[in-house]
């Protein structure tokens, strides 16, 4: 049996609330098994908006949304039972319009790669994770901060073990594996959609499923994703903790919105996993996997 107390997991996210909508139950699952689990949040979400109509007019949210988001993040971290570190960059905002406006000066997405990755490399060398979770090259969705998060996560994974790279940021550490989160896995949405319709219930995913099928020129249902799922972590017992963490982000998440439209019990019955793509590995493993730490021996050093 795996001794998870010797293992460490680092999840790298762009904004406060991303950790609760992407892989939250997985983090709570491994923390519950005894592993050290940390969330690194690259920005403070300073350029976000109030996305929950119930919070509109709230004095604190209107006057100091970034400060309130830090309190929300602390509540989410407590709900998941994990550690947390702010990386400290400024939110880039989501540009809108045609043509798109330039990104704000000094924001995270405009930082040169080595400058943006340096504090993350330092954290990897300090925390010494065996596994890193982050986003694919599209950022999970194409927000500039999510795309930059992918870039710095890859840089930290590839270079943190190089003693010549990033001088002054600590002793080198080589993570064993890096995964892309697939929280918006279209197969999951389709399974939940069909299960709800079979029960005679209204599916909150109908519009999303229709859009996915329309966007697939070959008519696949669902459309062929950019990356396939290689790893599924079964963690339905942590779905309530995930929902608690997500609801902690009161300014960002509508409690009557899509994330809460299907009960944890139904999700546990239909799709009791959280899904990932193994993007990089320095250890031998066999796919498909059911454990992010598969193949990892914490007493040995992985190959570089």
H helix intervals, the chain: 18-21, 24-32, 59-63, 65-80, 113-127, 144-159, 186-198, 206-214, 239-248, 264-270
Is 146 annotated as ligand-binding?
yes
Instruction: State yes or no: 220 annotated in a binding site.
Output: no
Name every residue whose Cβ is closer than 8 Å to that of residue 113 and which is 6 or more positions away in sequence: 151, 152, 155
Length of the chain: 304
On whether 15 is known to bind a ligand per the annotation, the reply is yes
- DSSP assignment string, 258-289: GGGSS-HHHHHHH--EEEEEEEEESS---SSB
Q: Among candidates 12, 17, 86, which has minimal Cα distance to 49? A: 17
Cis amide bond preceding 288, omega within 30: yes
DSSP one-letter code for 224: P
Which residues are part of a known binding site? 15, 18, 146
Which residues are part of a known binding site for Zn(2+)? 15, 18, 146
């Amino acid at each position: 049996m795996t001794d998870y107390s010797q293992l460490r997991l680092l999840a790298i996210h762009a904004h406060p609330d991303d950790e609760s909508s992407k892989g939250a139950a997985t983090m709570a699952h491994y923390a519950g098994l005894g592993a050290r689990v940390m969330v690194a949040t690259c920005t403070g979400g300073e350029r976000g908006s109030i996305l929950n109509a119930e919070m509109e007019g709230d004095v604190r949210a209107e006057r100091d949304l970034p400060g309130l988001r830090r309190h929300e993040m602390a509540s989410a971290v407590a709900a998941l039972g994990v550690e947390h570190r702010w990386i400290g960059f400024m939110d880039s905002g989501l540009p809108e319009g045609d043509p798109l406006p330039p990104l704000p000066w000094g924001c995270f997405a405009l930082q040169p790669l080595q400058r943006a990755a340096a504090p993350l490399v330092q954290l990897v060398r300090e925390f010494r994770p065996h596994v890193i979770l982050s986003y694919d090259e599209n950022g999970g969705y194409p927000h500039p901060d999510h795309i930059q998060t992918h870039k710095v996560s890859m840089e930290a994974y590839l270079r943190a073990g190089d003693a010549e790279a990033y001088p002054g940021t600590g002793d080198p550490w080589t993570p064993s594996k890096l995964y892309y989160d697939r929280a918006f896995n279209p197969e999951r949405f389709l399974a939940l959609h069909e299960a709800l319709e079979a029960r005679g219930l209204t599916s909150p995913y109908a519009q999303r499923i229709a859009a996915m099928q329309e966007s697939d020129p070959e008519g696949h249902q669902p459309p062929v994703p950019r990356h396939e799922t290689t790893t599924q972590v079964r963690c339905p017992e942590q779905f309530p903790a995930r929902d608690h963490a997500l609801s902690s982000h009161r300014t960002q998440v509508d409690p009557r919105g899509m994330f809460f439209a299907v009960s944890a019990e139904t999700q546990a019955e239909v799709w009791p996993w959280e899904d990932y793509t193994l993007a990089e590995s320095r250890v031998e493993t066999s796919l498909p996997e059911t454990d992010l730490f598969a193949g990892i021996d914490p007493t040995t050093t992985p190959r570089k």
